[in-house]
Homo-oligomer: A and B are copies of this chain.
């Protein structure tokens, strides 16, 4: 189906010879691979604007307090902000560090990126120093004023948005790069530095930030750490638990914990900073980050491949881990429907236009020697073609094409909701069972008579699956024509129960936030949940940090 949309003759010719099994010499696969040309309309800057649309700050987003009135109510133990509090904050901050009582100015900070949650905060504070963060928290803790720490506000689970009238503590003015050591690769910055700014700075030094994600133009380094973001290259550079070397954190009572030392190894005492990585602002506020950055790869290749089954996806992954090994920097998969939706959304033909296939794989390699990487990829793909596992494929020939191929993966979230809305689940499942959740969700929706790809009288278009298969991380997007309780009832708790039955996680990389606060029991045992609640109470006995969320 996708192939019929193709209008690039050069691409068509090559991919036909590549896809039609007349392949003879795998040493020339690169030459046979389709040279890929898409309009530059989706070059990176525009791409990000697609993902982070300019928002009109109307009140069209329903208030969280009203939408979820049956689930959450304001905790009356928290003090309501008064003039005295405001006077205190005015005494320690400059006027431009405070936004209060102006609904329009506060709207951006009260609403989430997905326009799903809206809080009612009347006060936003923008500290410029760690000491100011400390003074603010000390005051709030003493006075039982609830606080929401907020970074770039790009989260997907309502974690950085107030639920009621919590004070918003924005880290956006704490935004200086502190240091970089170009021998050790250790980078230190304030929490509010934007990820893309950090990466651009590092690029100039020949280094790379060891994490990348779609929202990098807006999200903060501190927010990325606070939510333990995973992103696109975890398979290569590993988790933040391994790469973050130190943190500066302010505890609920205002205590500043400075563990920002630049050491790759330090076995003196418990590694307490780890608790704050992924704590979503519920244990303390991260104000500074020290992180180990690898040398920037000098050669990057991207290929998109077509296979006929989920088993083949796993097989290709297994082979890629062995054969591409040290140069493999991303391994993503997308199912057929996800690509059909992106094709409609982009109004473009799919890069593999010769036919439509059940599954597509995006492979990225990053290395220090272009010639070597090309040869490795060529050999790998040649073997995969010869074995009949990979049925068709395409390799980007330049930076623009590389970006364009990534677009077919990265635009799935937008494409999934273009027909009305989308129910999103970000889950970890052991690899062999991973795609089973998508099939199970579709079967369940079909059994309930709710799904049809064409029939607009049905609420559900289809459940699609894609994600970071190299990390066992599935994004299940249920594309719908409208949100409805009927659909929700079919999906939940079914999806969570299914994940639990496979010993998976209901949050792989997006976090718990407000959305999943009541579902942690599907991924953690009662003992684990008790320990988590115990630590929360231990560090934040008044519960002032990011209430109504997490656990």
Give the interface SS of chain A, mostly helix, strand, loop or mixed. Answer: loop
Q: Which of B241, B263, B326, B508 is within 8 Å of A368, CB to CB?
A: B326
The answer to whether B325 and A265 have CB atoms under 8 Å apart is: no
A interface residue count range (under 10 / 10 to 19 / 20 to 34 / 35 or more): 35 or more
For residue A259, which residues in chain B have a CB less than 8 angstroms away from its CB? 528
Q: Pick the contact of A257: B314, B366, B527, B538 (CB < 8 A).
A: B527
Contact of A325 among B230, B263, B368, B523 (CB under 8 A): B368
Residues of B within 8 A of A510 (CB): 267
Copies of this polypeptide in the complex: 2
Q: Is A411 an interface residue (CB 8 A)?
A: no
Q: List 26 A-B contacts (CB under 8 A).
A: A184-B430, A228-B267, A228-B271, A230-B265, A239-B265, A241-B274, A256-B527, A257-B528, A261-B505, A263-B428, A263-B504, A264-B471, A265-B428, A265-B472, A265-B505, A265-B509, A267-B509, A270-B532, A272-B275, A274-B275, A294-B325, A322-B368, A323-B368, A324-B368, A325-B367, A326-B367
A227, B266: Cα distance in complex, Å = 11
Determine the chain B residues whose CB is within 8 A of the CB of A369 once the complex forms: 372, 375-376
Q: Which residues of B contact A255 (CB under 8 A)?
A: 527
Task: Write the chain B residue with the least CB distance to A471.
Answer: B264
Q: Given the interface contacts A238-B242, A326-B326, A428-B264, does A529 sit within 8 Å of B269 by beta carbon?
A: yes
A72 within 8 A of B: no
Chain A 513-551 residues near chain B, CB threshold 8 A: 516, 520, 523-525, 527-529, 531-532, 535-536, 538, 550-551
Check A527 against B258 for contact (C-beta < 8 Å): yes
| Interface membership of A223, Cβ < 8 A | no
| B-contacting residues, A461-491, CB 8 Å | 468, 471-473
For residue A155, give the distance in angstroms from its CB to the closest CB of chain B.
Answer: 11
Which residues of B sit under 8 angstroms from A314, Cβ to Cβ? 183
Q: Which residues of B contact A10 (CB under 8 A)?
A: none
Q: How far is the CA of A535 from the CA of B255 in the complex (A)?
A: 16
Contact with B along A187-229 (1 / 0, CB 8 A): 0000000000000000000100000000000000000000110
CB proximity to B under 8 Å, residues A227-252? 227-228, 230, 234, 238-239, 241-243
CB-based nearest B residue for A523: B268
Assess the A181–B431 pair: CB atoms within 8 A: yes
- What is the chain B residue whose CB lies nearest that of A280? B267
Contact between chains at B524 and A269 (CB < 8 Å): yes
For residue A163, CB closer than 8 A to chain B, the reply is no
A445 within 8 A of B: no
